[in-house]
Structure 1
Amino acid sequence: MAAGALMISFLSLVLSDATPIDTQLQNLQHQVKSLNNVLNDVIKEFVDLRQKHEDLENKFHDVSAELKHVRKEQDRMGRRMNRNLGGLSEERSAFSQRSGTGNPGLKGEKGDTGLAGPKGEAGIAGPKGDTGIAGPKGDAGLAGPKGDAGIAGPKGDAGLAGLKGDAGTPGPQGTSGSKGQKGHAGLKGEPGVNVVQHQIAFHAELGDDMVQILDDQHINMQDDIFTIGGGYDRNTGVFVSPVDGVYLFSVTVLVNRHGHVEVELKRNGDTILDLYAEAVDENESGSNMVLVHLHANDKVWVQVHDRYYDPSSMIDNHFTTFTGFLLYA
C-alpha cells in the first residue's frame, strides 16, 4: 500500500506543470529514497517469512517422524493384542468343553449406528508446492528524466584503411606556363655508327637433298641466294659475325613423308634455337627464329640433333633455308 501511494505521488509530481524543475527533482529524490526504504522493509519481511517457513518445514519433518514411530508402536501393540485374544479364545473353548456348555447361539441383529465423534484437530501443513508459471509481462513504466551526459571516453584506435576510391574525372586543362629560358648547350656526343658500313645479311638454301642423317651432322646451306657485308661461308655453312651487335636468324627445314628430324642453331657450340619437322602422309616443314647478341668472330651454324631424328629421313634441298641479318651494331 505504501509503495502504491508513493507511485501515485511520483506520477503527480512528474505530470505537474506548475512546480519548478528543481523542486520536482528534489521531490523525486525524496520519493525514490522513500521507495528504497519501503523496498528494504519488504525484503526484511520476506526474509523473516522465509525463515519461519523453514522452521515450519523442520517441525513438519520432526512430527512426521514421530507419527511414523507412533504408527509402528500401534502396529506392534495390535499384533500383541491379536495374539492375546487368540489365546483367550482357545481357553474359552476349552472351558466350555470342560463345563459341558452348549454350542454358541445365533448371531444377533446389527445394532444402530453410534453418534458421530468430535472433529479431529487440523493436520500439519504440508511442504511448500512448486513455483507457479510466471505471469504476463506488465506494461512499460513512464520514461524517467534524461540523465546528465557522461564523461567522454578515450579516443579509439584508428580503423582499417578503406578501399581506394574510383579515380575522379579529369579536371580542366590549366593555362600554359610562360616560356622558360634557353638552356645551356649540351656536351658533344660520341661519334655515331655508320650504319651503311655495317650492312650485314645473308640467305642460303640447301644445295642437295640430305639423306642418311647422322648425329650432330652439320647442315651446310651451300647455295647462298643473297649475301651482303660478308660473314657467311658457303663451303662450311657457318656464319662468322663481322662486328658486335644484335642479329636475327631464321631456320626452315622440310622433310619428306614418313620422316622426322629436329635441328639446332648453334653459337660457338651452344644451342640458341630448336625446331622440329615431322611428315606423316605428305612432306612437312618446321621453322623458327631467334634474336641474339653476337660478339665479333662468334660462329653460328645449323646441325642435326644428337637424338631426335629418323636416320632414314630425307631433308629437301630447296625448302631448307638459313637466313640472318644485323639489326644494329
Structure 2
Amino acid sequence: MPDTSHALSLPLIQPSQAQKHVTHNEALRILDAVVQLVVIAADQSGPPTAPQSGDRYIVAPSGVGAWLGHDGDIAVYADAAWSFITPLPGWTAQVLAPQSAVLFDAVLGWQTVSTTLENTPELGINATADPTNRLSVSAPATLLNHEGAGHQLKINKATASDTSSLLYQTNFSGRAEMGLAGNDDFAVKVSDDGTTWRTALNVDAPTARVIAPEGLESIRITATHSATTVLTPPSPAGFAMLSSVSSNFPQANASMILCYDVGASPQLIVIWNGGAVTNLGATAPTDTNVPDGLIGIAAQNNGTLLLRNEYPNSLALDYCITWINGWR
C-alpha cells in the first residue's frame, strides 16, 4: 500500500499504524490548504515578517529565508512554521493582492489567467462559435447600449478592395447586404436566391451621389446664370423630374417633368412645368434663343440634355434632378 495519495500526496493511514490521528490530521491540513485555494500574494520571494496562522502564499522565483528552495510551491503557515505543497499541472489559485487568478503549468510555472474575455479566441453565447464566426450569438435580440452618451458599431476592413458589410440571411442564404463591398462606395444589394445579386442603391464615395442602378437616380446640379449646364442621362430615353431647391428662385418653388430621347434622334417633351421653361427640342440653347427670365432645355444627339439659365438678376439656380426608367 502506498504511503501517499496519487493526486494530492495526502498521507495514508497504514495497516496497524499507531497514532492514526496524526496521519489523518496531516491529510486534513493539506486539504484545508489546497481546496478553494486562495493565496495572499504570488510575487513574494520571502516570508512576511508577521504571518498569521493559515496564511498561504505562492513562493515567487528565487525564494529566500524559510522559503529557500521552494520556488513555485504553496507556502502555508501553521503551528508557527512554514510548510510547503508542490502544485500539480492545472491547479488554479485566486490571488488577493494584486487581485488575479493564476494557473500552474509544469514548464512555465504559475501563469496569470485573464478574468475577462480579452483575447478569447472564440465565444459562443447560446451558440457554437467557429474559426470564421468567432463570435456567435443565438438570441431573440441583441442590445448594444450607450454608456451615458452615444454608441457606434464599427466594422473595419483592411483595404478598399476588401468587404465590410452587414449581411441579412434567410436560413443562412444571403438576401440583402449593405456596406462597403469590394470598394469604398456604400451599397445596398438584394438577392432572391442567395446567388444572383442586384445593386438597389449605390452611394459614390467621391461625390456622395446616390444611384439606383435599376431605375432611379437623383443628383443636385447648379445652373449658373447665362451659362449652359450639360446633363448626361443614365439611359438614352426616359423621364426626368427637376425641382428647384434654390432659396433665391424668383417664384419660390418650381419644378418640371420631361420625357426625353437623346442620341441619333433627339426629342424632348416638357410634360409639365410652371411656365418658366422653353422647350428647344434638338436645338442647343443660347443667350439668343432662350428668352430673358426663362430656362431653356434641349435634347442632343451626343446623348446629353442641355439646360440654360437666363433668369434675371444673375441668379444661379440649384436643381434636384431625378431620372426615372434609366440605368447606367
Normalised to the residue count of structure 2, the TM-score between the two structures is: 0.20
Question: Which one has a larger percent strand, Structure 1 or Structure 2?
Answer: 2
Structure having the higher helix fraction is 1
- Normalising by structure 1, we get a TM-score of 0.20
Higher relative contact order (CA closer than 8 Å, sequence separation 6+): 1
Larger radius of gyration: 1
